[in-house]
Chain A
């Protein structure tokens, strides 16, 4: 009996020790969703947070229909490198940030004006190639959300086009509309509503590399190689407002240096996909589960 137990225990542990190829190429699907599109969110009241507090946003604004993709970010990096607004230092893309007020809050870190990390080029999970002169998206990852980008990197992208990161309030209203729903598509979730932990999408293999990003706009009701997705668009026409990647928002709150993220990601359970769920990190934090999208005040071509 003892031998049997030991044998089974060793067998189980060994079965979990397969070599893993973290760079395995993802399947390629065309979602048909344009990452250059914008959606308008009208001014007015909405129900905010877990307890549906009435809030008002006093201006119309637009938000990108999807998170910024790897291909879009590669184009930006090439432009910014040429323009000299970013530079490469010690295997890192860095850029200037004008600094922020410091209130000496508990655990608050100071970020004065200076150069800060945008992208760690040595990170093996960065979906970009850099040949010493130009950035390109890695093969198969072009339409996936840009990840391993710090808040500084996300903010710089939006500002370079005269856009900005959305505030948390703007982000939440864009995700849930005005009826107080818990998820962009309603109040119930199915595994094929979004990319979350153990959602069993075609990009995930929980026995090996785990959960990976899906192309932006993937959950739009289309069938991909037999995998049926549900149309999980938000009331204002935005995709990926729950799951796939956490999205940086723009608020800089008093007495803290943390920047907040919304939306949940491929790495968390569905409870963190609720529209009011928040994550945060220091603005230099970069992760394969964090991306962003931009907002703007006025319609632009």
Chain B
């Protein structure tokens, strides 16, 4: 029993163990449900899996299934962010434990209630477990908000290198608090219409109603909810990476107000969609631009830091351009997260702004199916790129070193970028090629996308298998990591 007990303690009580379990669930869910769509469906694998596992794919319930699946994956990734936040930011130990345990119970209920309900037929007990899981995660968010309260006297900053108020309160903590607060409020914008439509069992995907001229308040609420939640998860991710990189100095002092103000304005914009659809988009662009400027400052800071550290390792005081590039890319695990943020501008933000500017002139001249393909690709890339950033951070926490660290880091960066670049070309294909002649381009984009995603999943699987093997070792890494904490900056500074 001790054998199991010790490992259970690592997996469900330590931060690194909790993150490992959540990422393992995300990997398993992505790999399994990936068998039911895209190329796996094209090549008949879906049919085999559906038959072998007696999956119940009622045609009228597809949208509901997808909503359950998306929410499940989102809750797992939110749990990962919560574990990181509760360790990276100071809070009472009992707060940390109660938040972590609450969010863990919540996402496990979402997985084991929601997915069987969605894919193996209706059982209202399972649906109840799913909804209760979502509610528990919301409650964990409320606990987190209390724990993050920034205006605590004992949390005043002593190191003035970090952004702070005149009275010494930590502005980075305010940013975490603000993003957590607007995330919780934005969740309500999904929960209210979800309750209304869900109780009537009338689910719909936001991308299916974008051209409807008369949307109800509940329709708009769902659209706003979808837009904001992914953006806020991405902003929280940028804050976490900033903490990991020990973001400080003048850029930190400029970036934190930008994050705080940007996430608030962005959220306001999406909430206002419900009442003032006409002006909401302008506010959303304003807010997201401000928040993105904060992320840009993080990128500048971290790249300068990586170059400095890389040159130091080589014993070079001042390097030339190529030496600096080599220093920047020396450690793909550290370089990757901020590179992915830059890459996000090409595949998500840039495309989003271009689409908004040319909406009537170009994209609304396409048939709806093509516009929907663009929207779906856009949200998928944003979500998955954010996940790769967290994955790279976890690879560092998991202790990947040497060649394995380089291979894993570069595989994740290169092949995720190949995949998302290919998806971007696929979703914008109507700009490049006529509909009737698109198949060769589609084939190349799909091939590149498949190679990218499969390699990414294989790299992730290798990391998980490595950690699984470690769990069977008497004195594996897990024995040390059980008491590891992420918070203090020692991990960052080494």
Q: Do chains A and B stick together as partners?
A: yes
Q: A residues touching B (Cβ–Cβ < 8 Å)? A: 9, 12-13, 16-18, 20, 22, 50-52, 105-109, 123-125, 182-183, 187, 197-198, 206-211, 246, 253-256, 258, 261, 267-269, 271-272, 274, 278-282, 285, 287-290
A218 and B444 alpha carbons, distance in the complex (Å):
30
Besides A109-B360, A125-B436, A279-B369, 15 other CB < 8 A contacts?
A13-B448, A16-B443, A20-B437, A50-B60, A51-B202, A124-B437, A187-B59, A208-B439, A255-B214, A258-B211, A269-B41, A278-B368, A279-B367, A281-B367, A288-B435
Which A residue sits closest to B214, measured CB to CB? A255
Instruction: Using CB atoms, name the residue of chain B closest to A280.
Output: B368
How far, in Å, is A294 (CB) from chain B's closest CB?
21
Q: Is the CB of A210 within 8 A of B442?
A: yes
The answer to the question of B366 belonging to the interface, with a C-beta cut-off of 8 Å to chain A, is yes
Given contacts A255-B214, A256-B211, contact A274 B364 (CB under 8 A): no
A272 to B214, CA, bound (A): 23
Cβ proximity bits B54-66 to A, threshold 8 Å, 1 near / 0 not: 0000111011000
Which residue of chain A has its CB nearest to the CB of B212? Answer: A256
Decide yes or no whether B440 CB sits under 8 A from chain A: yes
B436 near A206: Cβ-Cβ < 8 Å: no
Q: Which of B199-229 contact A (CB under 8 A)?
A: 200-202, 211, 213-214
Give the distance to chain A from B473, nearest Cβ to Cβ, in Å. Answer: 28
Q: How many residues in B have their beta carbons less than 8 Å from beta carbons of A?
A: 36
Which B residue sits closest to A288, measured CB to CB? Answer: B436
Contacts of B367 on A, CB cut-off 8 Å? Answer: 246, 261, 279-281, 285, 287, 290
In residues 60-87 of chain B, which contact A (Cβ within 8 Å)?
60, 62-63
B93 interface hit (Cβ, 8 Å): no
- Known contacts A208-B440, A271-B59; is-contact A12 B447 (Cβ 8 Å): yes
Given contacts A258-B211, A271-B59, whether A20 and B439 have CB atoms under 8 Å apart is yes
Please measure, in the bound complex, the distance between the C-alpha atom of A12 and the C-alpha atom of B62, giving whole angstroms. 34
Across-interface contacts of B438 in A (CB, < 8 A): 210
Question: Cα distance A187–B61 when bound, in Å?
Answer: 12
Question: With the chains together, A107 CA to B447 CA distance in Å?
Answer: 36
CA distance A246 to B202 in the complex (A): 25
Query: Within the assembled complex, what's the spacing in Å between the Cα atoms of A125 and B451?
Result: 31
Selected A-B contacts with CB under 8 Å, 21 pairs: A9-B451, A12-B447, A22-B436, A50-B63, A51-B200, A107-B364, A108-B213, A124-B437, A125-B437, A206-B439, A206-B443, A210-B439, A261-B367, A269-B41, A274-B60, A279-B367, A280-B368, A281-B366, A281-B367, A289-B435, A290-B367
Binary flags per residue of B437-457, CB closer than 8 Å to A gives 1, else 0? 111101110011001000000
- Determine the residue in chain B with the shortest Cβ distance to A147: B436
Across the two chains, which residue of chain B brings its CB closest to A258?
B211
B152 within 8 A of A: no
Residues of B within 8 A of A (CB): 41-42, 58-60, 62-63, 200-202, 211, 213-214, 277-278, 359-360, 364-369, 434-440, 442-444, 447-448, 451
Q: Which residues of B contact A255 (CB under 8 A)?
A: 213-214
Q: For residue B208, give the distance in angstroms from its CB to the closest CB of chain A.
A: 8
When C-beta atoms are compared, the residue in chain A nearest to B441 turns out to be A16
Complex-state Cα separation, A120 to B443, whole angstroms: 27
- Which residues from chain B contact A207 at a C-beta distance below 8 Å? 443
Q: In the complex, A125→B437 CA distance in Å? A: 9
Our pick among A17, A258, A279, A290 for the contact of B444 (Cβ within 8 Å) is: A17
Could you say which residues of chain A place their CB within 8 Å of the CB of B213? Answer: 105-108, 253-256
Return the chain A residue nearest B202 by Cβ: A51
C-alpha gap A52/B202 in the complex (Å): 10
Main secondary structure of the interface of A (DSSP, over half): loop
Tell which of B62, B369, B440 has the most Cβ of chain A within 10 Å: B369
Q: Which of A109, A124, A280, A285 contacts B436 (CB 8 A)?
A: A124
With A22-B436, A125-B436, A274-B59 already in contact, the answer to whether A279 and B451 are too (CB < 8 A) is no
CB contact under 8 A between A279 and B368, given known A9-B451, A187-B59: yes
Chain B residues contacting A197 (CB-CB under 8 Å) are 42
A210 cross-chain contacts in B, Cβ below 8 A: 438-439, 442
Residues of B near A279 (CB, < 8 A) are 367-369
In angstroms, Cα B451 to Cα A280, docked, is 33
In the bound assembly, the distance between CA atoms of A258 and B438 in angstroms comes to 24
CB-defined contacts of A109 to chain B, threshold 8 Å:
360
Q: A105-B213, A106-B278, A269-B41 are in contact. Are A13 and B447 (CB under 8 A)?
A: yes
Give the distance in Å from the alpha carbon of A258 to the alpha carbon of B213 in the complex.
10
**Neighbour of B439 across the interface among A123, A125, A183, A209, CB < 8 A:** A209
Let me know if A182 and B439 touch, CB within 8 A. no
**Which 5 A-B residue pairings sit nearest by Cβ, starting from the closest?**
A210-B439, A182-B59, A125-B436, A281-B367, A255-B213
Contacts of A107 in B (CB 8 A): 211, 213, 359-360, 364
A51 and B201 contacting across the interface, CB-CB below 8 Å: yes
**Are A16 and B214 in contact, with the CB atoms below 8 A?**
no
Closest to A282 in B: B365
Residue on B with the closest CB to A204?
B439
Inter-chain contacts of B436 with A (CB < 8 A) = 22, 123-125, 288
Could you tell me if A22 and B369 are in contact, using CB atoms closer than 8 angstroms?
A: no
Q: In the bound complex, what is the Cα–Cα distance between A210 and B441 (angstroms)?
A: 11
By the criterion CB–CB under 8 Å, are A22 and B60 in contact? no
Beta-carbon contact of B440 and A285 below 8 Å: no
Residues of B within 8 A of A258 (CB): 211, 368
Which of B359, B367, B368, B437 is most buried by chain A, counting CB atoms within 10 A of its CB?
B367
Query: In the complex, which of the residues A12, A105, A124, A290 contacts B451, with contact meaning CB atoms closer than 8 Å?
Result: A12
**Complex CA distance for A289 and B435, rounded to whole angstroms:** 9
Most buried by A among B60, B202, B448, B451: B60
Q: How far is the CB of B376 from chain A (nearest CB, A)?
A: 12
CB distance from A70 to the nearest CB of B (A): 15
| Residues in A neighbouring B62, C-beta threshold 8 A | 271
How many Å lie between the Cα of A109 and that of B213 in the bound state?
Answer: 12
Minimum distance in angstroms from B49 CB to a CB of chain A:
16
What separation, in Å, do the CA atoms of A206 and B42 have in the docked complex? 10
Q: Could you say which residues of chain B place their CB within 8 Å of the CB of A105?
A: 213
Q: Say how far A141's CB is from chain B's closest CB, in angstroms.
A: 13
Assembled-state Cα–Cα distance A13/B63 (Å): 34
Distance in angstroms from A50 CB to nearest chain B CB is 5
Q: In the complex, what residue of chain A is closest to B215 when comparing beta carbons?
A: A106
Question: Smallest CB-CB separation from B450: which chain A residue?
Answer: A12
Known A-B contacts A182-B59, A271-B62; A125 and B369 likewise in contact (beta carbons under 8 Å): no
- Complex CA gap A240/B426 in Å reads 28
Closest residue on chain A to residue B437 by CB atoms = A22
Contacts of B58 in A (CB 8 A): 187
Tell me, in angstroms, the Cα distance from A269 to B59 when the chains sit together.
12
Among the interface residues A20, A50, A258, A271, which one has the most CB atoms of the partner chain B within 10 A? A50
CA distance A289 to B369 in the complex (A): 11
